[in-house]
Amino acid sequence: MKEATSPVPIVRNDTQAIHQLYAQNVIPSYGRFDLALSHGAGARVWDMGGRQYLDLAGGIAVCSLGHANPEITRALVEQSQRLLHVSNLYYTEPQARLAEKLVKNLGPGKVFFCNSGAEANEGLYKVARKFGNAEGRFEILTALNSFHGRTLAGISATGQEKVKKGFEPMVSGFRHIPFNDLEAARNALSPATVAILIEPIQGETGITPATVDYLLGLRQLCDDHKLLLLLDEVQGGIFRTGKFASYQRILESEAGAAGFMPDAVSLAKSLGGGFPIGAFWVREPYSNLLSAGTHGTTFGGNPLGAAVALRVLEVIERDNLADRARQLGEWMKSKLLALCGEFPTVLKTVRGYGMMIGIELADNIQAFSGSEKTASIQFINKLHDAGVMAVPSGANIIRLLPPLNLSESEADEGLRLIRSVAQSLSQQ
């Protein structure tokens, strides 16, 4: 087979022209940073002016094997030479093999493939509605400060006012409860309640993990009231925390958690290592609720996406990247905690698991007082100036979601750059 020729990077400083084209032609629904990116390799990205950045954002927990990974390229090329797409009216091998792999990692059940996280969550809502339909139950409880995607049902499920504003009325049948508060969940149940949906680690609002007691308590509550426990693993899944799913990591050494299983799990982001693919898994005996003709999507589980996701999972397993994410992530977390001690007027604390790290900034950072922008955005702008990329999570938390194959020297370099930013801010 002919090797794919690697793309020749075009490094021209026409950032201004790109900005102009966006301003004229792209719907301005995103607040964007002032970087126009050209190409990448591993954990590095270059902007159109040729400046290099260490990418600890990973496309918001997507590029789990880094940029321009040759094995992903090979899977793309090989599969595209066989079969890019056929509809779901037929069977293909990559979809079958990928489903088998996901079931192996989550437990006895079945998988549906889609194209994004919001769509994977839509599947969970439909499973829950189907489950409760005969009894007239339809209500899904979700957590405050959650994030479940930007479709109309997604923003209805999301427990943040800012995503709903201007789009009312919301899809009915969602109600929000405080996160990590089992009593509140119990008190919120109504005769119409059919499911509880949470992120085991809330990703968009500060990398906030569910407690062991909360996860186990919700499982019990759902069992007692015939509710489905739905987990959104779109951001925390695919070995980022050191286990396939983040709930598995949170519960891993808990004796009382043996046999814990959610009823359904949504996945996307890292699943394709940068290729858009989502999925949801439903456990037995609920995995046949969505019978023939009740759910579907044109592109879901197409051979190209499935072949790439399969390769991503094979590489993670072969190279033991789950353990690497766990160990390097814990090491980075300990170093970052030390920085909090060194620069307490800038950095408050650090939390997360593996390669899903949240750095909470100190309140009222002096150097940021003159701007309307959130502290997290101002901090990230400083990181960009220093040559490192990260993602804001809420108004005062910085997220690190690096590739799982980040090297120790890259991790060390990232920490040095973060330290230099914290140090200069502490002196202002």
Binding site for ligand PLP (CB under 6 A): 116-118, 121, 147-149, 199, 203-204, 232, 234-235, 268-269
> Nearer to ligand PLP by C-beta: 269 or 419?
269
Give the Cα separation of 252 and 230 in Å (integer).
19
Please count the other Cβ atoms lying within 10 Å of the Cβ belonging to residue 8: 7
Task: Report in angstroms how near the CB of residue 258 gets to ligand PLP at its nearest.
Answer: 26
**CB 239, CB 322: distance < 8 Å:** yes
> Nearer to ligand PLP by C-beta: 72 or 114?
114
**CB 273, CB 72: distance < 8 Å:** yes
Task: Report in angstroms how near the CB of residue 1 gets to ligand PLP at its nearest.
Answer: 32
Task: Report in angstroms how near the CB of residue 149 gets to ligand PLP at its nearest.
Answer: 4
Task: Report in angstroms how near the CB of residue 120 gets to ligand PLP at its nearest.
Answer: 7
Packed helices 303-318 and 93-106: angle between N→C axes, nearest 10 degrees: 40
Q: By CB neighbour count within 10 A (0-12 exposed, 13-18 middle, 19+ buried), where does 21 fall?
A: exposed
Report residue 200 CA to chain centroid gap: 11
Please count the other Cβ atoms lying within 10 Å of the Cβ belonging to residue 364: 10
> Nearer to ligand PLP by C-beta: 56 or 189?
56
> Nearer to ligand PLP by C-beta: 271 or 339?
271
| Of 331, 365, 333, 335, nearest in space to 347 by CA | 365
SS3 203: coil
> Nearer to ligand PLP by C-beta: 234 or 289?
234
Task: Report in angstroms how near the CB of residue 373 gets to ligand PLP at its nearest.
Answer: 22
Q: Which tokens go with 238?
A: 């695919």
Q: Which helix (H) or strand (E) holds 222?
A: helix 212-224
How many helices (H) and strands (E) the chain has is answered by: 14, 17
Please count the other Cβ atoms lying within 10 Å of the Cβ belonging to residue 341: 8
Task: Report in angstroms how near the CB of residue 389 gets to ligand PLP at its nearest.
Answer: 17
**What residue is closest to ligand PLP based on CB?**
117
Task: Report in angstroms how near the CB of residue 275 gets to ligand PLP at its nearest.
Answer: 12
Please count the other Cβ atoms lying within 10 Å of the Cβ belonging to residue 149: 23
Q: Which tokens go with 82?
A: 């066989």
> Nearer to ligand PLP by C-beta: 42 or 203?
203
Q: Are strands 193-198 and 139-143 parallel, antiparallel or unpaired?
A: parallel
Q: What is the CA radius of gyration of the chain?
A: 22
> Nearer to ligand PLP by C-beta: 72 or 201?
201
Task: Report in angstroms how near the CB of residue 202 gets to ligand PLP at its nearest.
Answer: 8
Report residue 23 CA to chain centroid gap: 28
Task: Report in angstroms how near the CB of residue 72 gets to ligand PLP at its nearest.
Answer: 18
Is the previous residue joined to 169 through a cis bond, with omega within 30 degrees of 0? yes
Across the chain, which distance is largest between two alpha carbons, in Å?
Answer: 64
Task: Report in angstroms how near the CB of residue 27 gets to ligand PLP at its nearest.
Answer: 16
